Structure 1
Amino acid sequence: MTSKEIRQEFLKFFETRKHQVVPSAPMVIKDDPTLMFTNAGMNQFKEFFLGNKTPKYSRVTDTQKCLRVSGKHNDLEEVGKDTYHHTMFEMLGNWSFGDYFKKEAIEWAWELLTEVYKINKDQLYVTVFEGEASDGLKMDQEAYDLWKQIVPEDRILMGNKNDNFWEMGEQGPCGPCSEIHVDIRSEEERQKVSGASLVNMDHPQVVEIWNLVFMEFNRKADGSLEKLPAQHVDTGMGFERLCMVLQGVQSNYDTDVFMPLIKQLEAGSGVKYGASEETDIAIRVISDHVRAVAFAIADGQLPSNTGAGYVIRRILRRAIRYGFTFLDKKEPFIYELVALLSDQMKEFFPEIGAQSQLVAKVIREEEAGFLRTLEQGLQLLDQIIANNEGDTVKGVKAFELYDTYGFPIDLTALILSERNMKLDEKGFHEELKKQKERSRAATKVETGDWTILDAEAGEEFLGYDTLQTPSRITRYRKVERKKGGTIYQMVLDRTPFYAEGGGQVGDQGYLEDVAGNKIPVSDTKRENNLIIHFSKSLPKDPAGELTAVVSRKKRLMTQANHTATHLLHQALRQVLGTHVEQKGSMVNSDGLRFDFSHFSKMTKEELAEVEKFVNDRISEKLPKVEKRAVGFQEAVDDGAIALFGEKYGDKVRTINFGESTELCGGTHVENTADIWYFIITSESAVAAGVRRIEAITGEKAMEYLNKRDTTLEEVTQVLKNPADPVKAVSNLQEENAALKKQVEVLLKEKAGNLKHDLKGKITNVNGINFLAEKVDLNQGGIKDLCFELGGEMDDLFLFFATEDNGKAMLSCYISKDLAAARGLNAGQIVRELGKYIQGGGGGQPFFATAGGKNPDGIPEALENVKTYIQA
């Protein structure tokens, strides 16, 4: 069977037994703080097991995308080294929510494996939970008795809590399980050694294929077990392992799940799978990891430096590193596998088909960025190793690579181990700890206890409806900041001040007492559900009556910018596509910043279209339609956009302007006309797959336009008031281009004369036409000179140094035939000699350059290259 047929047969088998076929849940979890990723098929049904929700169907079946790279279930470091561990894998499952239990689960599993898939019964073993005294659990006698009716007793094995009691994590639904293992060794091997002795012993050909979990308990926070409201069945069968068994191969990677990816990797790298263990591991790592990364991105998780995004970035960087080192891939290449992966998987997982272009471009950007880091880091690591005494690299050196250049510590350790060296990991972590302590010290504040003025008073936010209200201070405290002196923080019983949140800055304003004294409020933030007002001083009578007043001008400008982010979000989804998702924002009175998921730099035409879209909505004078205390699901069902990463309660607030509807707690204009005008000032990259737009509205937009008019007037005057300023500038550019060409001609003449002089200085050393010289040329001129001389002479070795603005540059050229015949490498040579100019570099074996900050080291570099050639 092909993998597609195997999937179809599984779902069809349970569909005929009254199971509802349901789609896979996203691999990236957005609404469960205990998990980053779906690590088992049961994750999406967790609430059903706990009895918190009622399932629509009592029996379901599916194939679920899973990722095991964090927490308790972490297979990352095993992937590639063996033939059956994976980061992302599919889990085939059938589920009963309070319906059937052990009998049906066991009988159907055996029927499917032996009668539908035709697996030899003599190759199968089953395990049963032996019990656990610490949990007060007895052996699963019921499962044992059921299996005894199907298989010989010598094929029923006892399993301990570690192997046969399934738990999702530290807390949650759990229960005893019965595993089915398959022995795919040859008949001869099976006769020599019983498969029973190899079950759960990490043998690559005696593997668990299906786990039947009988959900009976809930593990509480204190570690105790309580009975679930109902008994459930949760089964999970490794799809990739099943394909291995049914396709008669000895490795998951030899199935049609992975072989198309492996074949493309072979074609792209020129490395044959099976040629060596090192390259085989690399090919397995890449073909596995591209699946995990691609599906994570399709499910909404972009690579980043924190949280789930960092996990995805780490997986991808591990694949890049293996390709770089073992397949000699120095340019982005993993992204090229996405189209093939999409074709393979989109029938069952349409999200990968719909987003394959986005996925490929995000991966390509990540590859390009990390390859630059890797190249630079490897050069620096080479220097560290060359200058290291002994076989252990100090932690402080590894930390410098990590802290300054972003070179991953696990890669440093891996590279050192490949060179039979060690890393002082303890020293590294000590340096990391020091850095964290320095960071904490820089932001440390000494906060006094709250002075409570009214313990019974509540807190009411009125800022959606008014900018001024009578107030009293209910509590305050003094804060000593390391930088900035003393401030006071106050809580009011009623406040119009908006606390920082949702990307919008906190309000500023003042508190006025009955005598007319004003206490400036510099910021407003939220802490433990309290709205905190910041000020450098307290009112003379902290317990007295006050009037809280928000700065009207700043608030109006801020809410105009905030409303513009909603219209901008709508515009981007309209112009670029619905893959656009807000990834962050910052809104204040000066302007707005909006981060969003998109795979490429926006064109001028796209930016103009977005800008026009927003301004058209402003011109339409759309009124604000606000709904408060709406049910979350009701709001989403009505089309409101819920932003990724935001936490929403059961009741939410929706803001609507025309066709733009979002869940939002910020402040907004009453009508889009209040924004006045919208201007995009910049568009840039924030990270791979994340772009940033900065824009201004209202008064700032007017200032911008006025300044532009003034600038145009000044330029016109400088050009002596031409009738057509644009044509006048164009003429200047043409004149400038003509002058540049004249300069280039002069430089070429200079280089030609220099070439003639230098050619006469070339000497033969050990059969090599050699010259090392300091020259007065720019880098481009030196490169042209090298290749011109190289075209005129064989067996040529050139080493040139130049100095410019206090910096040194080394260039090395070696004829390709000479480099191959003598084992010479220009990149290695400039890296080594770069230490004399306090720099580094690299390049290709036949041409490479190095830059440094010490021109005084040039003579020593030239002398050493002469010595090198003479030797």
Structure 2
Amino acid sequence: MNAQDIRSKFLQFFESKKHSIVPSAPMVLKNDPTLMFVNSGMAPFKEYFLGNAEPKNTRLTDTQKCLRVSGKHNDLEEVGYDTYHHTLFEMLGNWSFGDYFKEEAIAWAWELLVDVYKIDKDILYVTVFEGSDDADNLSLDTEAFDIWKKHISEDRILKGNKKDNFWEMGDQGPCGPCSEIHVDIRTPEEKAKVDGKSLVNQDHPQVVEIWNLVFMQYNRKANGSLEPLPNKHIDTGMGFERLCMVLQDKKSNYDTDVFTPIIREIETITNTNYGKNEKTNIAIRVISDHVRAVAFSIADGQLPSNTGAGYVIRRILRRAVRYGFTFLNTKEPFIYRLVEVLAQKMGEAFPELISQKQLIENVIREEEASFLRTLEQGLSLLDSIVETTKGKEVLGSKVFELKDTYGFPEDLTDLILREKGYTYNTEEFNAELEKQKQRGRESSALQSDDWTILLEDNEQEFIGYDRLEAQVRLVKYRKVTSKKEGEQFQLVFNLTPFYPEGGGQVGDKGYLEAPNGDVIYILDTKKENSVVIHISKNLPNNLNDSFKAVVDVKQRFRTECNHTATHLLHQGLREILGTHVEQKGSSVHSKYLRFDFSHFSKVTAEQLEEVEAFVNARIAGKLALQEQRNVPMDEAINDGAMALFGEKYGDTVRTIRFGQSIELCGGTHVKNTSDIWHFKITSESAVASGIRRIEAITNDAVKDYFETVDNEYVAIKHLLNNTKEPAKAVLTLQDENTALKKEIEKLLKDKAKNLKGDLKAEITEENGVAFLAKQIDLDAGGIKDLCFELGSQYSNLFLLFGAENDGKAILSCYISKELVAEKGLNAGQVVRELGKHIQGGGGGQSFFATAGGKNPSGIAQALEEAKNYIK
């Protein structure tokens, strides 16, 4: 049974049990501050478990893309070294929201595994929660135990501890006991030696968990206590890759057809063989796993970057690159070439891999090339560190600097050092790493109290599309504390005119006015799952009052101008550059807008002018807003609405139309394009390979821009003696400047030529070496030319020149190549060591190198010590 059939049979089975099949949600989470990525099948359904929203059907089934590379669930370092952990994996799941519970969940799991998939029941073990004697004081899950006895012999039902058999989504929230289903796929000979039950949950590669049935029946509060949930839920997750291993009778996930096509392509590209050498095997497993994680992330809209979720993706890709670099001897980008095979294999189940294939390939190729350059730079820096190390142990702080500043991984540093006969101080390295982690924890640490409920069973209503103020009641609140923001309060109202941050648009600001006139300022508005949260520094004095909630009208209007302009910009780019243009991210503020889009070359000045003119023509056209709410998704798409990759849409959507521009959008907009007044592009740049970024302004910001430009124009005319043709005057100045530069260059060359004769007379013989150390009055270029001119006349020359330019110090060292070979002298090492006197550093080749520093007074000392190198 191939992987596609295995996936289909799962979904069809639960569809026959009256479950609705739902598509996988994007992996990158945008409205959940507790998670960066979807790391389990239940994450997209959190709002149902929390009671913040009602599912359309109480029974759902899906296969969910999951990523476990950060936070509590982090399998990254195991990936490649074992055969069953992955960064990206599919989680097959079935869900009940207040519908069926343990009886049906257990019976159907057994039916699917034994009757449909035909797995031998004699290789299965199940676990149930044994209870705990800690503060929770939970007892054995006898209900699950008794249900399992109907299906499997009692000696195969094992009691598991809290770590393995009590599932929690985090420090707070829904949780409950669970039953895991494990499979023992060892050979009969191995089973005869060791009983399988002793290997359950012991990280044995052939005795693995394949399915977890979670019985959500408690809520974990901020103080650590448990309270029963008003409704009981079922949350199950089965590892698709592990299931394929069992059904295809393999001993490794990587031997299934989920991975073998990718592995074969790696073997072909790198001229290696999987299965012959363990280091090669690990590298191939790492690469075949990581390319999936990176490709799906890019398809879902998350590009590699230096911060947040983007940094995690970059880290995964770089891990793959360095394993290829180190163990497969790949010095050129190649991982991007695996995307074609991946799209062929998984494109039917996940069509985004096909539609986004070119973008994925381009981004990965550029990232690979960039990191390979970093590796080359790191190797050079590592050579320098080794050269200056006394003894055979490199400082841990130096290794940490390579990692932190240059992105050079410590495991690769360790490998190269050992090849050279060196080690590094791991304790010192780990101490530096821990300091960095602690700084990160302190800056991002957020403590949340439990919600204080003021109004029960009061659903929140958003009215911000139609009204900017309203009388509201406080439903619940909680205090949150972070090092960055200090103590704040999160407030939830029964209805709200405040738009929460989302879809690239910033959250509204404003204030609450109490009946007595007291004012509480709303600093920001965010959305957590489906609940709109208002952030303030203070609480009202009387929490039960009715408050007047007022949105900051000016900020909202300016933001609406910029948001509407992004829609018109998107339309203009597709019209002028081509329909390959797709939105890849946006940021809409009150002061400016930022728009990222797919395009594979720099947008020319002429094209930018066309785009600007296109948008401004629609502003002048006074196009009225046509908004439709609660439109069926299929109907909106058929009507031509643009849907964005990486966004999660419901069954019904909101469409925004201005003329021929129509998009699915939850943001706020002007009533008429004429409100925007004018649109001005301020910059165009590259974000990643195949991704460009335009920044622009509208309305008041454009007025300020034109006023600034006009003032600068007047100032330039004044400097040019109020000429009527300032552009012509500037060109004249440029021509004069070019001529003067050429004249100066000629004078400097003449000066260097004259200086050459004088310096030649000062060269002395020291221990068989022609030696000169002297401070001279030339720039860096002139010194270099002088060094090589003198060097051409000697085969045993050692020069060290010092100079002061614009308050900065320069040291330049030239050593004849014959001396480098005979005496082991190295100009790079000389300037690095003597550069300390000028409070700087530098490097170069063994025969010529330079150093720069901020202390010219140290030049004399450096020149004085130069003779020590030839004694």
> TM-score with structure 1 length normalisation?
0.66
SS of the counterpart of 1:309?
helix
The alpha-carbon deviation at position 625 of structure 1 amounts to 1.9
Distance in 2 between residues matched to 1:103 and 1:493, nearest whole Å? 45
The alpha-carbon deviation at position 748 of structure 1 amounts to 3.3
1:235-282 deviation digits (Å, cap 9, x = unpaired): 543769999969999999996523543664579xxxx99999888866
Assess, with a 3 A threshold, how the Cα gap between structure 1 residues 207 and 530 changes in structure 2: closer, same or farther: closer
Is contact 2:506-2:588 (8 Å) kept? yes
Aligned to 2:300: 299
Assess, with a 3 A threshold, how the Cα gap between structure 1 residues 669 and 816 changes in structure 2: closer, same or farther: farther
Aligned to 1:587: 589
Distance in 1 between residues matched to 2:251 and 2:494, nearest whole Å? 70
Distance in 1 between residues matched to 2:318 and 2:670, nearest whole Å? 45
For the pair 1:129 / 2:129, whether they are aligned, the reply is no
Assess, with a 3 A threshold, how the Cα gap between structure 1 residues 9 and 633 changes in structure 2: closer, same or farther: closer
Q: Which has the higher contact order (CA 8 A, sep 6+)?
A: 2
- The 10-residue stretch of structure 1 (703-712 or 251-260) with the greater mean CA deviation from structure 2: 251-260
Assess, with a 3 A threshold, how the Cα gap between structure 1 residues 761 and 56 changes in structure 2: closer, same or farther: farther
Is contact 1:763-1:771 (8 Å) kept? yes
Could you list the runs of 5+ residues in structure 1 that have no partner in the other structure? 114-123, 147-155, 184-189, 445-449, 477-481
Aligned to 1:152: none
Aligned to 1:257: 262
Distance in 1 between residues matched to 2:494 and 2:110, nearest whole Å? 59
* Paired letter, 1:261: I
Is contact 2:283-2:324 (8 Å) kept? yes
1:574-599 deviation digits (Å, cap 9, x = unpaired): 547666436342432x5444566777
Distance in 2 between residues matched to 1:248 and 1:490, nearest whole Å? 47
- 1:213 corresponds, among 211, 214, 218, to 211
The alpha-carbon deviation at position 318 of structure 1 amounts to 3.6
SS of the counterpart of 2:297?
helix
- 1:338 corresponds, among 323, 336, 344, to 336
The alpha-carbon deviation at position 28 of structure 1 amounts to 1.9
Distance in 2 between residues matched to 1:771 and 1:592, nearest whole Å? 60
Assess, with a 3 A threshold, how the Cα gap between structure 1 residues 290 and 521 changes in structure 2: closer, same or farther: same
Aligned to 1:745: 746
Assess, with a 3 A threshold, how the Cα gap between structure 1 residues 468 and 414 changes in structure 2: closer, same or farther: same
Distance in 2 between residues matched to 1:773 and 1:286, nearest whole Å? 54
Assess, with a 3 A threshold, how the Cα gap between structure 1 residues 87 and 830 changes in structure 2: closer, same or farther: farther
For the pair 1:419 / 2:418, whether they are aligned, the reply is no
Distance in 1 between residues matched to 2:836 and 2:863, nearest whole Å? 12
Distance in 2 between residues matched to 1:275 and 1:817, nearest whole Å? 46
1:630-673 deviation digits (Å, cap 9, x = unpaired): 67887678666677898999987654322334566655332112
* Paired letter, 2:87: T
Q: How does 1:684-703 map onto structure 2 within 5 Å?
A: 684=685, 692-702=693-703
Distance in 1 between residues matched to 2:475 and 2:162, nearest whole Å? 57
Assess, with a 3 A threshold, how the Cα gap between structure 1 residues 510 and 702 changes in structure 2: closer, same or farther: farther
Distance in 2 between residues matched to 1:506 and 1:163, nearest whole Å? 43
The alpha-carbon deviation at position 338 of structure 1 amounts to 0.6
* Paired letter, 1:341: V
Aligned to 2:852: 851
Q: How does 1:46-445 map onto structure 2 within 5 Å?
A: 67-70=67-70, 73-81=73-81, 86-88=86-88, 102=110, 105-106=113-114, 126-129=123-126, 133=130, 134-136=140-142, 137=145, 161=160, 170=169, 171=175, 175-181=179-185, 197=194, 207-208=205-206, 213=211, 215=213, 217-218=215-216, 220-221=218-219, 236-237=241-242, 257-258=262-263, 260-261=265-266, 264=269, 285=286, 288-304=289-305, 307-319=308-320, 333-334=332-333, 336-343=334-341, 345-346=343-344, 348-349=346-347, 351-352=352-353, 354-363=355-364, 419-423=423-427, 431=435
Q: How does 1:651-690 map onto structure 2 within 5 Å?
A: 654-662=655-663, 667-684=668-685
Distance in 2 between residues matched to 1:159 and 1:198, nearest whole Å? 13
Is contact 1:489-1:532 (8 Å) kept? yes
Distance in 2 between residues matched to 1:313 and 1:43, nearest whole Å? 23
Assess, with a 3 A threshold, how the Cα gap between structure 1 residues 460 and 801 changes in structure 2: closer, same or farther: same
* Paired letter, 2:125: V
* Paired letter, 1:87: T
The alpha-carbon deviation at position 196 of structure 1 amounts to 5.6
Is contact 2:335-2:364 (8 Å) kept? no
Assess, with a 3 A threshold, how the Cα gap between structure 1 residues 179 and 840 changes in structure 2: closer, same or farther: farther
The alpha-carbon deviation at position 311 of structure 1 amounts to 2.1
Distance in 1 between residues matched to 2:647 and 2:204, nearest whole Å? 45
Aligned to 2:620: 619
Aligned to 2:101: none
Aligned to 2:100: none
RMSD: 7.1
Is contact 1:128-1:178 (8 Å) kept? yes
> TM-score with structure 2 length normalisation?
0.66
* Paired letter, 1:338: Y
Aligned to 2:779: 778
Aligned residues: 807
Assess, with a 3 A threshold, how the Cα gap between structure 1 residues 838 and 728 changes in structure 2: closer, same or farther: closer
1:89-129 deviation digits (Å, cap 9, x = unpaired): 67899999999754663466569x9xxxxxxxxxx993423
- The 10-residue stretch of structure 1 (47-56 or 353-362) with the greater mean CA deviation from structure 2: 47-56
Distance in 2 between residues matched to 1:844 and 1:266, nearest whole Å? 34
Distance in 2 between residues matched to 1:348 and 1:492, nearest whole Å? 44
SS of the counterpart of 1:301?
coil
1:45-88 deviation digits (Å, cap 9, x = unpaired): 99999996659999x9x8x8654423565331133556775434
Is contact 1:834-1:851 (8 Å) kept? yes
Aligned to 1:609: 610
Q: How does 1:441-840 map onto structure 2 within 5 Å?
A: 503-504=505-506, 506=508, 525-526=524-525, 557-572=558-573, 575=577, 580-581=582-583, 583-588=585-590, 590-594=591-595, 602-627=603-628, 654-662=655-663, 667-684=668-685, 692-702=693-703, 704-705=705-706, 708=709, 726=727, 729-754=730-755, 773-785=774-786, 799-812=800-813, 827=828, 830-840=831-841
SS of the counterpart of 2:346?
coil
- The 10-residue stretch of structure 1 (858-867 or 639-648) with the greater mean CA deviation from structure 2: 639-648
The alpha-carbon deviation at position 622 of structure 1 amounts to 0.7
Assess, with a 3 A threshold, how the Cα gap between structure 1 residues 287 and 559 changes in structure 2: closer, same or farther: closer
Is contact 1:157-1:196 (8 Å) kept? no
The alpha-carbon deviation at position 172 of structure 1 amounts to 7.8
1:415-439 deviation digits (Å, cap 9, x = unpaired): 9998341335886588568857996
The alpha-carbon deviation at position 493 of structure 1 amounts to 12
Assess, with a 3 A threshold, how the Cα gap between structure 1 residues 92 and 655 changes in structure 2: closer, same or farther: closer
